[in-house]
Structure 1
Amino acid sequence: MYTTREASAIVRAGGIVLASILLFAGLSTVVLLFHAEGGAGGALFDAYLFGVARFTLLQASLSTVLSVALAIPVARALARRRHFPGRNWIVRLSALPLGLPALVATLGIIEVWGRRGIVNQALATLGLDNPVSVYGLAGILIAHVFFNLPLAARLLMAGLERIPPEYWLTSANLGMGSGAAFRLIEWPVMRGLLPGIAGLVFMLCATSFTIVLTLGGGPAATTIEVAIYQALRFDFDPPRAVILSVLQIALTGTLLYFMRLLGTPAEEAPTAGRAIRRFDGKRGRLSDGLVILAFTLFTAAPLLAVVAAGFASDLPRLAFDPLLHRALATSLAIALASATLCLAVAMPAIAIAPLAAADRAPAPLRYLAGTLQATSSLILLVPPVVVATGWFLMLRTFGEVGRFAPYVVVVINALMALPFVIRVLEPAYRTHIARTGRLAVSLGVTGLHRLRWIDLPALKRPLLTAFAFAMALSLGDLGAVAIFGADGVVTLPWLLFSRMGSYRTADAAGIALLLGILCLLLTLPSTASGKNARDDA
């Protein structure tokens, strides 16, 4: 598959990538431990830290239960009603929150559920005196369900779409009703998927930063990552930030460990590959229609609110705002640099896997490949806020926080996107190498010629998809920038957050519209589906 020279270059590149990632994260960790000396004492078990950890687990647990429980009827309804007009668009709509920055969606949720939002105005017309409060635990739950309900529904629906068509034909021949079909056919599939989906949603909610920072509403609704930010930016208490960082690493490490134990891969039953035709849809049309309508309204309302509020703002004045120009230029520069760096780091990690999978691969090579794969997901264990905290404390020692902060943010955003980029590129690269590797070597097409004439044309689409997705993640990120935001790094998310904090909601709406359009343009090609419902799932 590779020549000896190519294999040596890949191994060297993999070693450089591994050393660089470990050095970047290791320096941050060393600085955190250094600042922890002599300042934390027994603070790990004080009432504040206990309360923050308890609220982190509470909101993540409630968000997971709500998201997954509501996803079950949505997935069933969409899987059962396969041919109604607009179904494909509803499935595609469920992908939009995945590519929308959390801050933009949060602004839309405030427009819908806030004190002057659509929901509270409707409740006021009914004479209800206690409007829904979007700040605090309730608002955090609404926002987390908005993001994670579509994700859970898509994953469950994809599992239901993989049920062999012969099962539905057999159920019809046996005269099974909707309840029996759910109990004997759908539920066994869902039961195998739910633990993994629930673990993923719980992980996303436990490490949520932007949503809690915006909708938390006070100390009573603070998660660990938000507490780290507050300890540095408001209290400037590095020892407290370090202890919180260690607590966050312990929490995420425990979550990742249990996620590996959750769920079992569903067994693929044999099938003749017929088109899916379900016979259990004659009843329940009204209930399925109401479920799909409620899901569509819940998902679409914040998005439409962002668009409406954005166009209602003073867009011409914003268009000539120098600070907006600076934030846009900074965001695009950081996004381009981080996406480029992310691909440069991802390719050696992907290319080394076929070498290590060979039958006669030496043990050090396999160890290097395994370590590199594990290290590429390091950001899942050490969240961006924690890494940024270590580098903030280090740069502050040299008095150069503002000067070097953009470069640190670029690297953190690249590492943040790395696990997702690898998941996009690795299957395509593995298939490409299996099909063309031996032939290219036998023809003597190697090195740059192979890259130009064989690899790039075949991998152009997944590379562009991964690059666009990495850019979108960087454009919408607030976590790392929030630590450095007051020191000269002004991005679109930071500018949007500051305008929201100063109650300049009209400006915030216009900035949110711009940021949302940029991110959706980047992510739509990867989230939009093919021509049929199976692809949509």
Structure 2
Amino acid sequence: MLGTGEVRRGLAAGGASLAAIGGLVTLPTGALLALAPASSAGTLFDSYTLSLLRFTLLQATLSTLLSVALALPVALALARRAAFPGRIWILRLMAVPMGLPVLIGALGLIGIFGRQGLVNRLLAIAGVDHPVNIYGLSGILLAHVFFNLPLACRLMLAGLERVPAEDWRLAASLGLGRLSLLRHVELPALARVLPGAAGLIFMLCATSFTLVLVLGGGPAATTLEVAIYQSLRFDFDPARAVALSLLQIALTGLVLAVLSRLPAAEGSRGEGRIPRRFDGEGFGSRIMDTLAILLATLFLVLPLGAIAAAGLKADLLRLISLPAFHQALLTSLAIALTAGLLSLLTASGILTAQAAIADRRHPSPVLRVFGRALSALSSLVLLVPPVVLGTGWFLLIRPHADVARVAPLLIAAINMLMALPFVMRVLAPAFESHRLRTTRLAASLNVTGLARLRLVDAPILARPMLMALSFAMALSLGDLGAVALFGSQDLVTLPWLVYSRLGSYRTQDADGLALLLGLLCLALTALGTAGQRRQP
């Protein structure tokens, strides 16, 4: 049992986190709603807005279908081939796109599928006159598949790995063929994860910003979020920005409502250990599985290799010595560190309050409502995308102060909100395990307050908190969404510097800066996972 003082401090920390997140999300949303009747009623459902909505839904639907359909044979092949050479490294490779800054991934895809990319050079050698065009809908779909196929594959593989070993032995004893095994064993296992996985991917694609900004290719391939950015950044049309922001909130709210009714997409378990399989021993099956795994691996490796190859061709020493790089690096690190620390404080407050509520055998109705509100914070963060948040804060602050003065803090706060679900996912299991292990012992020894923090909590929770901080910082370092609204000559981050070089056709500089940004994010991720293998 926690002491009365610890319970009070935990509830106070949770209240502070709830108030901070609620204020960061509801204030800009309220500003958008307040401006809506006067400025956006006439533009909410005009032909242009409806075309944006149609394209947003179209590209998200097609991206989801392609990601899931192409991941399905890869997941089935990896599930069958537990002894496939390098299987564990292939699974680790599939985690790279999920942590890769989106802008860097887009540049890697341009290096392979762009006009001067590897694919078009090979087509030219083969005598094909019509090059592959990566810009427009085709490029957006290709990029979304690159980022979301690994996610879909890992989620489906996790579902297959949870099938009990007895089921595989029973199927083998019954002599079930390939189609019968798929129908009676594999598809039921996949059905438990596919709806949630598809819903999650649809949400990610519907709120995609950077990929559409870089690869959209014009008004015909523009989503709601990119149109919001363009309305403020280039047209300075707050009325249209408000209308599009409200429509985006309605869309994400509808998607989240549907997602809440779907089975949760579960993560991958362990390092891919699966029960022994007795199927797929035929030569044809082996060839098809090997081909599916190799093609998926090649699809992921080539853009990553293109990033490294193009970046190494740039004059990295010159880029590192540029004052613009120094300014962007310091700004990015300051914003990333601020966002990471804020996300740690906020997540710790939420988890401490949840522990205080869980410690009460019979919590009051008020505490139960408070606990549900804390659990819903991640959904509240997902409800309002970064560009919409930035739009609301821009409209809220502009009449009263210079937005440029508070832009760095706003960017850090928005990045904190975007990192919070990932930080919670890292910290929640560690906090819960630590609470179950130490609460009674610490109470029996009367170790409370700062003494408990120093002697009990810090030694155990330091490693997961370092991991969460490194992930949050890497996510903030690679973000282009928030800084796209507030970036200026005086506020330049590394992703904004890469994007500006790309926009001014200084492609080689953009490639070199992208490589440096990727290495920095990789170093942060490696720092967060350092020593993980040595854990018991």
SS of the aligned residue for 2:412 comes to helix
SS of the aligned residue for 1:261 comes to coil
Deviation at 1:332, TM superposition (A): 0.6
* Structure-1 residue corresponding to 2:440: 438
> Contact between 2:10 and 2:356, CA under 8 Å: does it hold in 1?
no
SS of the aligned residue for 2:10 comes to helix
Deviation at 1:130, TM superposition (A): 1.3
Q: How does 1:157-168 map to 2 (within 5 A)?
A: 157-168=157-168
CA distance in 1, matches of 2:18, 2:97: 32
> Contact between 2:203 and 2:255, CA under 8 Å: does it hold in 1?
yes
Q: Write out the 4+ residue segments of structure 1 that deviate beyond 6 Å after TM superposition.
A: 525-531
- Pair 1:226 & 2:226 matched: yes
Deviation at 1:399, TM superposition (A): 4.4
SS of the aligned residue for 1:134 comes to coil
> Contact between 2:63 and 2:141, CA under 8 Å: does it hold in 1?
yes
* Structure-1 residue corresponding to 2:198: 198
Structure 1 pair 275–82 and aligned structure 2 pair: CA distance change class (3 A): closer
TM-score (norm 1): 0.94
| Higher mean C-alpha deviation, range 366-375 or range 229-238 | 366-375
* Structure-2 residue corresponding to 1:71: 71
* Structure-1 residue corresponding to 2:96: 96
> Contact between 1:146 and 1:299, CA under 8 Å: does it hold in 2?
yes
CA distance in 1, matches of 2:496, 2:429: 35
CA distance in 2, matches of 1:58, 1:397: 37
Deviation at 1:33, TM superposition (A): 2.9
Deviation at 1:494, TM superposition (A): 0.6
What fraction of aligned residue pairs are identical, expressed as a percent?
57
> Contact between 2:256 and 2:379, CA under 8 Å: does it hold in 1?
no
CA distance in 2, matches of 1:58, 1:432: 45
* Structure-2 residue corresponding to 1:486: 488
One-letter code of the match for 2:147?
Answer: F
Q: How does 1:338-377 map to 2 (within 5 A)?
A: 338-357=339-358, 358-377=360-379
- Any gaps of 5 or more consecutive residues in structure 1? 267-273, 532-537
* Structure-2 residue corresponding to 1:496: 498
* Structure-2 residue corresponding to 1:279: 278
SS of the aligned residue for 1:45 comes to coil
* Structure-2 residue corresponding to 1:145: 145
* Structure-2 residue corresponding to 1:6: 6
One-letter code of the match for 1:282?
Answer: E
> Contact between 2:210 and 2:481, CA under 8 Å: does it hold in 1?
yes
Deviation at 1:483, TM superposition (A): 0.4
> Contact between 2:314 and 2:508, CA under 8 Å: does it hold in 1?
yes
Structure 1 pair 40–265 and aligned structure 2 pair: CA distance change class (3 A): closer
> Contact between 1:402 and 1:487, CA under 8 Å: does it hold in 2?
no
- Pair 1:306 & 2:317 matched: no
Deviation at 1:275, TM superposition (A): 6.9
One-letter code of the match for 1:334?
Answer: I
One-letter code of the match for 2:55?
Answer: F
Structure 1 pair 169–353 and aligned structure 2 pair: CA distance change class (3 A): same
Deviation at 1:508, TM superposition (A): 0.3
* Structure-2 residue corresponding to 1:534: none
Question: Which one of 412, 415, 419 corresponds to residue 414 of structure 2?
Answer: 412
| Higher mean C-alpha deviation, range 321-330 or range 518-527 | 518-527
Q: Deviations over 1:387-442 (max 9, x none)?
A: 11111223322341211100111111111111121122112211111111111111
* Structure-1 residue corresponding to 2:450: 448
> Contact between 2:79 and 2:274, CA under 8 Å: does it hold in 1?
no
| Higher mean C-alpha deviation, range 232-241 or range 84-93 | 84-93
| Higher mean C-alpha deviation, range 227-236 or range 155-164 | 155-164
Structure 1 pair 383–236 and aligned structure 2 pair: CA distance change class (3 A): same
| Higher mean C-alpha deviation, range 100-109 or range 513-522 | 513-522
Deviation at 1:330, TM superposition (A): 0.5
Deviation at 1:265, TM superposition (A): 8.1
Deviation at 1:11, TM superposition (A): 1.1
| Higher mean C-alpha deviation, range 237-246 or range 119-128 | 119-128
CA distance in 2, matches of 1:365, 1:282: 56
Deviation at 1:528, TM superposition (A): 10
Q: How does 1:329-344 map to 2 (within 5 A)?
A: 329-344=330-345
Q: RMSD of aligned C-alpha atoms?
A: 1.8
CA distance in 1, matches of 2:341, 2:222: 34
Q: Deviations over 1:233-253 (max 9, x none)?
A: 010000100111000000000
CA distance in 2, matches of 1:527, 1:54: 41
Structure 1 pair 530–404 and aligned structure 2 pair: CA distance change class (3 A): closer
Q: Deviations over 1:23-81 (max 9, x none)?
A: 22232123223433432232111110000000000000000000001111000111111
* Structure-1 residue corresponding to 2:295: 294
SS of the aligned residue for 2:487 comes to helix
Deviation at 1:316, TM superposition (A): 1.4
> Contact between 1:92 and 1:528, CA under 8 Å: does it hold in 2?
no
CA distance in 2, matches of 1:187, 1:376: 30
CA distance in 1, matches of 2:527, 2:277: 30
Deviation at 1:327, TM superposition (A): 0.4
SS of the aligned residue for 1:196 comes to helix
| Higher mean C-alpha deviation, range 422-431 or range 289-298 | 422-431
CA distance in 1, matches of 2:280, 2:523: 36
- Pair 1:520 & 2:519 matched: no
> Contact between 2:12 and 2:353, CA under 8 Å: does it hold in 1?
no
Deviation at 1:501, TM superposition (A): 0.6
CA distance in 2, matches of 1:523, 1:178: 40
- Pair 1:125 & 2:125 matched: yes
CA distance in 2, matches of 1:125, 1:19: 61
Deviation at 1:166, TM superposition (A): 1.6
One-letter code of the match for 1:307?
Answer: A
Deviation at 1:94, TM superposition (A): 0.6
Deviation at 1:262, TM superposition (A): 1.7
> Contact between 1:36 and 1:238, CA under 8 Å: does it hold in 2?
no
CA distance in 1, matches of 2:464, 2:178: 40
TM-score (norm 2): 0.94
> Contact between 1:96 and 1:520, CA under 8 Å: does it hold in 2?
no
CA distance in 1, matches of 2:92, 2:531: 7
SS of the aligned residue for 1:359 comes to coil
One-letter code of the match for 1:257?
Answer: A
Deviation at 1:311, TM superposition (A): 0.3
* Structure-2 residue corresponding to 1:184: 184
SS of the aligned residue for 1:377 comes to helix
| Higher mean C-alpha deviation, range 158-167 or range 97-106 | 158-167
CA distance in 2, matches of 1:528, 1:194: 33
Structure 1 pair 16–242 and aligned structure 2 pair: CA distance change class (3 A): same
Deviation at 1:529, TM superposition (A): 12
| Higher mean C-alpha deviation, range 484-493 or range 187-196 | 484-493
One-letter code of the match for 1:356?
Answer: I
Q: Deviations over 1:108-162 (max 9, x none)?
A: 0000000111111111222222111100000000000000000000111111112
Q: Deviations over 1:252-304 (max 9, x none)?
A: 000000011123789xxxxxxx9721111312111111111100110111100
> Contact between 2:469 and 2:528, CA under 8 Å: does it hold in 1?
no
CA distance in 2, matches of 1:59, 1:527: 35
